[in-house]
Structure 1
């Protein structure tokens, strides 16, 4: 039998992983099968996939309906380009379905292959929108410290976690990171945002981009009025509000989209992950009617932006079936109900274990903090990694 672990070490550079750890210890597990909430490795071990892999397998592993749809679509039209206005039914129907689900008047969709591409695309479309109106100076993008928006060029620079910049440096300019309400207070964070806009000049700021709940930054849930206050500040200063729903979309928080927990209407919304539950890569950007009308009126000639797999027929067919399952099985309501039970369970664990600090959750998006000293909220030394094997 081939030594897969050795082949992994020799040939597979893993994303967001320690290369040195891989070379010393090999892959943590080599999975061979998934079923519901479980993953199985080649040694027969069974795991609960507690994070839904990367917060994306919203309907669970091994759904035969998805495989059947993929087979059917592949036999008909596995791939077709959407460049130069060529089109096909699955992408058209998915765009219409998403428009029916999205908050407010987000009725037009640009498809990508994933979250990083979606956020890069959003930034380019936003800059194009302002340029079409003679406001080309409006280029800067405001995001939060500890935000995660992806690892492509613009999305890496928009990300507010320094470790992601240190690898290759900032790849784009015009990104501003402001205080988030979790590191201080909502009032202080709004004040910092307003001061930043005044310093930078609203005439130079294109958009404010935010995750409704910061995911990779630590599952940080905003205070009740924070997002509404941000939306007001953006509107007052003619700045577009962008909701990054890559993690929070498609039921993860107990609503179809995370911003719906606070009644927010974004100008732009990005998505990926849960749109296909990870069965094939797919993402996208949705824009408001106001933005789409400017594009239709003033964006003459070719829109020089697009990906080979924008609107991939098989991926969009899978997305349609995935959303059908979410709705048919009432998985959004289920996420809300089970999220309440999950949070109670985490609170029980906190009461029993000295190393568990704060716990928090919204729907099936939750976290607990491990601390060396609960009373002082002192963290463990990050240089001393806890090994579970």
Structure 2
């Protein structure tokens, strides 16, 4: 047995015994071990323990935006760790990287969203927003405004509040009880209006939505949807939270996804793209109006926080990541590569009668097949398996009967690499 095979065998057994994986089949892991054991990454590629190279067309979890293996990110982490790896931000303590990153984020955000509360990731960011909007209405004398509205097929994370806001039933039914005062509407203005009329605006704290639904199938909003949502929220005294965990920091071809719709939310939640996955970091960004009202009306402490809120090393990595995106004009590349990707998807649709729809915004795209019937298995998972054989990682979405392939390649993808990606998808579909 080669050294690589021996190491793989040892690690596989240790994995089965000791590592509980997120959003994975526990039975399959016990029987077969992990599908891939990755050891290296470079650009848009990952390499596993056996030396196999795979194109990462989903940026791992929609997040490795600047690509794998950026040594300057490691250097930024090392420099900060050598000076100050961690210190708390509780009790009015602070640190330079967190301050500078919060200030830099204010340069990226639309409108007057300019104050950030840092978390360890997207789930915590959304939980923070839900707690904050309820606190906000409480200190303004409206404690009854506590309901959170989200959209069906939305994904907002898997902490308790975030799970409860996520409109995908598989995540909700995992537990026997979700948090109270979370409700879902269809992706139509009529559904939102009907809900507000039924429940009463005086009971609703906020509406939360991804600009483009990611994990739910890369679903685009209806024409004019968010403009109408903003009007309805204004008319009814409801705060609007834009969940930019996937869409933020350039993924859609603008700084934030909501900017495509000429709408400014009251709160933005973010994570993934702030560090491109090089360190865990997320946050809630609030408007100047909300920030000032929180300062004026909150008595005593803001009783919410995480150990790693404002983590100095994560903040330093975030700063370096945003610097790279700007200096390398990566959002411009997202726009160009996104157009190429969508044109490629349209070409694929012309070649395949089973393709129902193709869509994309920046480097966030999808190929949707005709929905599987009760007696027909979706074809997406089989295409994913064929693509893996050909060296491409992509993702199948089969929630609620849909049959969709999702894509979100790193911002650094070249024209030639995009051509390779499109060709592999087409060949994989032909095989299936």
Q: Normalization by structure 2: what TM-score?
A: 0.85
Q: What whole-Å deviation, never above 9, does each CA across 1:237-276 have from its counterpart, x for those lacking one?
A: 0000000000000110000100011111000000000000
RMSD: 1.7
Q: Which residue of 2 aligns with 1:212?
A: 211
Unmatched tracts of structure 1, length 5 or more: 181-188
Which of 169, 177, 183 is equivalent to 1:162?
169
Tell me how far apart the structure 2 counterparts of residues 190 and 279 of structure 1 sit (CA, whole Å).
38
Q: Which residue of 1 aligns with 2:279?
A: 280
1:143: how far off? 0.3
Unmatched tracts of structure 2, length 5 or more: 1-5, 390-432
The structure-2 alpha-carbon separation of the partners of 1:271 and 1:200, relative to structure 1 and needing over 3 Å to count, comes to same
The structure-2 alpha-carbon separation of the partners of 1:100 and 1:385, relative to structure 1 and needing over 3 Å to count, comes to closer
Q: What whole-Å deviation, never above 9, does each CA across 1:18-37 have from its counterpart, x for those lacking one?
A: 11121222211100100000
2:91 counterpart SS class: helix
1:318 counterpart SS class: helix
1:83 counterpart SS class: coil
1:171: how far off? 2.7
Q: How does 1:126-141 map to 2 (within 5 A)?
A: 126-141=133-148
Answer yes or no: is 1:41 the counterpart of 2:41: no
The structure-2 alpha-carbon separation of the partners of 1:350 and 1:383, relative to structure 1 and needing over 3 Å to count, comes to closer
Answer yes or no: is 1:304 the counterpart of 2:311: no
Q: What whole-Å deviation, never above 9, does each CA across 1:332-380 have from its counterpart, x for those lacking one?
A: 111011000001111111221344331111000001124478xxx9995
1:170: how far off? 3.6
Q: What whole-Å deviation, never above 9, does each CA across 1:310-334 have from its counterpart, x for those lacking one?
A: 0100000000010000011111111
Tell me how far apart the structure 1 counterparts of residues 44 and 238 of structure 2 sit (CA, whole Å).
41
2:221 counterpart SS class: coil
Q: Normalization by structure 1: what TM-score?
A: 0.94
Tell me how far apart the structure 1 counterparts of residues 22 and 376 of structure 2 sit (CA, whole Å).
25
1:224: how far off? 2.9
Q: What whole-Å deviation, never above 9, does each CA across 1:216-245 have from its counterpart, x for those lacking one?
A: 110001123111111111111000000000
The structure-2 alpha-carbon separation of the partners of 1:316 and 1:213, relative to structure 1 and needing over 3 Å to count, comes to same
Q: Which residue of 1 aligns with 2:150?
A: 143
Q: Which residue of 2 aligns with 1:98?
A: 105
Answer yes or no: is 1:10 the counterpart of 2:6: no
1:197: how far off? 0.2
Larger displacement relative to structure 2 (222-231 or 106-115)? 222-231
1:107: how far off? 1.1
Whether the aligned pair in 2 keeps the contact of 1:148 and 1:214 (CA below 8 Å) is yes
Whether the aligned pair in 2 keeps the contact of 1:356 and 1:370 (CA below 8 Å) is yes
Tell me how far apart the structure 1 counterparts of residues 70 and 293 of structure 2 sit (CA, whole Å).
41
Count of aligned pairs: 378
Whether the aligned pair in 2 keeps the contact of 1:372 and 1:378 (CA below 8 Å) is no
